[in-house]
């Protein structure tokens, strides 16, 4: 992915015009009338014979701490292993940290010579970082001397543009970096290179004075993007971006199955059949090339894990992800809030939530497991699939009753009515229950 200034602006940081407004006033210019803000920054450097004030503006702006946006959080949930960005802030790094992932951040050319072990993603900050504002790429001089000073970034970018498909997000039509980025792309790729994609919002006449002219020009700009092997994808508004990323998350995780459930009471299947089912599910999912995510639900997780392990060649296979819930928080309210946040993180890594059982003991009584119900709700709220095995009773049966009323609504239009009938019948054999689950998850992956 290539993440542009739009993502940071939505978090609360100023855009380029906001950043350079004071510099323009120093020069007796109006930033609103300037179309080339890189040249405007250069004018100020020329006038001041240095970038002291420019550096101070960057420090003042980026010492303010803003929280990552929904867009950053969704980016961190995607199975993307390389991010390029022109942004100076640390929002991406913090989003990955919050997601429990290790980011190998390349802020300066020398960072490219070293690799952080066991990292989940590499983040290239090709225009520098707020930790060294004096080296930030901002004015014309910086762009013109980019190659000799940051040659390793150019080499790395050339390799990625050749070997990977890029998805540009937050790079708008008015982004002053865009022309320079595109020129660099054109220099680094060949005519027969990979196709890349860019989300763009067309200028609208009501946006600003002169936008009607820009709207006409925009049509020609779209055609010109093809020279860079970039295919534009048009959106009506920037608030569509999180919805697009949610859909990408859903589709990219359809082979990742979260097994949600707990059991202190094994009715109506009985304890032996219940354990056999959980173990068989773990084995069948792995054998059919699906990945399993488990939070170690009482009476469920250990059997699923053991079944999966039997199908794996190595105990540390990445296709089995374990998320044991953090314990030791004595305050009930804090523990509940922590676990809710934890569930959101787990479900961001899954595409399907397979629900088994869902009960627990409280004061000697068997009651519905609220955590299992919450995981199903979060899954639905994320636009993902909940697949309940109603035959296991309790919360799973409640959820089965819901999805059975309108299967196509809850299973992305797939016809799974016959399989649901099997999953709702406690008399179904373990083999038939497992077969029905595998049939459904395979359909969802078509």
Catalytic residues: 127
Residue 29 CB neighbours (<10 A): 16
Residue that the structure tokens 């009584």 belong to: 365
Residue 253 CB neighbours (<10 A): 23
Question: Among residues 287, 303, 292, 223, which one has the least CA distance to residue 259?
Answer: 292
Question: Among residues 174, 190, 132, 154, which one has the least CA distance to residue 4?
Answer: 174
Taking the alpha carbons of 297, 298, 302, 307 in that order, is the dihedral positive or negative? negative
Kindly list the distances between the CA atom of residue 72 and the CA atoms of 3, 99, 349, in Å, as whole numbers in the listed order.
9, 10, 15
Inter-residue contact 61 to 88 (CB < 8 Å):
no
Residues forming beta bridges with residue 259, ordered by sequence position: 294, 354
Beta pairing, strands 121-125 & 2-3: unpaired
HEC states along 320-333? EEECCCCCCCCCHH
Q: 348 CB contacts (<8 Å, ≥6 apart)?
A: 73, 77, 99, 249, 382
Question: Among residues 128, 106, 132, 109, which one has the least CA distance to residue 119?
Answer: 106
CA atoms within 13 A on the CB side of 199: 22
N- to C-terminal Cα distance for the chain?
25
The Cα–Cα gap between 391 and 273 comes to: 11
Inter-residue contact 347 to 375 (CB < 8 Å):
yes
The Cα–Cα gap between 40 and 399 comes to: 59
Kindly list the distances between the CA atom of residue 81 and the CA atoms of 117, 125, 397, in Å, as whole numbers in the listed order.
14, 14, 38
The Cα–Cα gap between 243 and 383 comes to: 10
Helix (H) or strand (E) holding 342: helix 332-348
């Amino acid at each position: 992915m290539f993440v542009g200034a739009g993502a940071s602006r939505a978090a609360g940081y100023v855009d380029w015009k906001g950043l350079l407004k004071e510099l323009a006033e120093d020069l007796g210019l109006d930033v609103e009338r300037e179309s080339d803000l890189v040249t405007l920054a250069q004018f100020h450097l020329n006038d001041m014979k240095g970038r002291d004030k420019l550096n101070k503006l960057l420090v003042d702006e980026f010492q303010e701490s803003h929280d990552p946006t929904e867009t950053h959080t969704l980016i961190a949930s995607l199975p993307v292993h390389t991010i390029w960005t022109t942004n100076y802030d640390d929002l991406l790094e913090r989003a990955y940290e919050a997601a429990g992932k290790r980011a190998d951040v390349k802020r300066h050319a020398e960072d490219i010579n070293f690799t952080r072990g066991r990292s989940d993603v590499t983040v290239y900050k090709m225009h520098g970082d707020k930790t060294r504002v004096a080296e930030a790429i901002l004015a014309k001089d910086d762009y013109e001397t980019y190659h000799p000073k940051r040659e390793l970034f150019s080499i790395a970018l050339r390799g990625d543009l050749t070997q990977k498909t890029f998805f540009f997000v937050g790079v708008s039509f008015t982004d002053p970096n865009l022309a320079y980025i595109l020129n660099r792309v054109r220099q680094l790729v060949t005519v027969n290179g990979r196709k890349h994609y860019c989300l763009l919002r067309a200028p609208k006449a009501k946006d600003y004075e002169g936008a009607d002219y820009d709207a006409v020009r925009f049509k020609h700009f779209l055609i010109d993007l093809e020279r860079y092997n970039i295919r534009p994808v048009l959106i009506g508004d920037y608030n569509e971006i999180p919805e697009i990323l949610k859909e990408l998350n859903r589709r990219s995780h359809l082979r990742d199955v979260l097994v949600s459930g707990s059991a202190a009471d094994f009715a109506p299947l009985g304890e032996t059949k219940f354990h056999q089912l959980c173990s068989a599910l773990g084995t069948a999912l792995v054998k059919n090339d699906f990945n399993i995510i488990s939070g170690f639900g009482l009476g469920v997780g250990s059997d699923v894990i053991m079944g999966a392990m039997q199908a794996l060649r190595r105990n540390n296979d990445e296709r089995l992800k374990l998320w044991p819930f953090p314990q030791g928080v004595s305050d009930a309210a804090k523990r509940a809030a922590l676990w809710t946040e934890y569930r959101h993180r787990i479900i961001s890594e899954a595409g399907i939530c397979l629900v088994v059982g869902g009960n627990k003991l409280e004061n000697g009584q068997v009651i519905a497991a609220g955590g299992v119900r919450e995981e199903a709700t979060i899954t639905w709220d994320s636009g993902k699939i909940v697949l309940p095995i109603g035959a296991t009773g309790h919360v799973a049966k409640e959820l089965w009753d819901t999805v059975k009323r309108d299967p196509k609504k809850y299973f992305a239009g797939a016809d799974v009515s016959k399989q649901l009938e099997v999953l709702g019948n406690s008399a179904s054999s373990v083999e038939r229950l497992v077969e029905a689950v595998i049939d459904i998850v395979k359909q969802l992956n078509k």
